[in-house]
Amino acid sequence: MKYRGSCHCGAVAFEVEGEIASALACNCSICQRKGSLLWFVPREALHLLTPEDASRVYEFNTHRIKHRFCPQCGIHPYAEGTDPKGNRMAAVNIRCLEEVDLAAVPVTHYDGRSI
């Protein structure tokens, strides 16, 4: 399945391919504030439709995750990082995808605050 995603104003838009088996709700300091529901995919599965520099990067703590957000509308559509094996990953905020029935996606609660 191919999904289209974007920030609110459309300055950051992308397509992402894969099956959304579940989403992660994390209670760490940033995820809780954003309220994002995260879906992890290989970074190659995410294809930007707008220039990469249309989004800004926010990093904190260990700077291992690039939290991408739109400087126009402030929405955080995805983040980038690497998994424990070193593979480049994207964490897509499925609230920013079109045509996803959010109520039908099983949500796993992740205690990121305790890490």
| Positions that interact with Zn ion (CB under 5 A) | 7, 9, 11, 70, 72-73
Q: Which residue's Cβ lies closest to Zn ion?
A: 70
What whole-number distance in Å separates Cα of residue 113 and Cα of residue 31?
9
What whole-number distance in Å separates Cα of residue 65 and Cα of residue 39?
15
The residue among 6 and 37 lying less far from Zn ion, judged by its C-beta, is: 6
CA 87 to mean position of chain CA atoms: 16
The residue among 42 and 71 lying less far from Zn ion, judged by its C-beta, is: 71
With tokens 């605050």, the residue in question is 113
The residue among 54 and 105 lying less far from Zn ion, judged by its C-beta, is: 54
- Minimum Å distance from CB 64 to Zn ion? 25
What whole-number distance in Å separates Cα of residue 62 and Cα of residue 100?
32
Nearest C-alpha neighbor of 2 from the set 107, 104, 105, 100 = 100
Residue pair 78/46 in contact (Cβ under 8 Å)? The answer is yes
- Minimum Å distance from CB 5 to Zn ion? 12
- Minimum Å distance from CB 49 to Zn ion? 13
- Minimum Å distance from CB 75 to Zn ion? 6
The residue among 9 and 102 lying less far from Zn ion, judged by its C-beta, is: 9
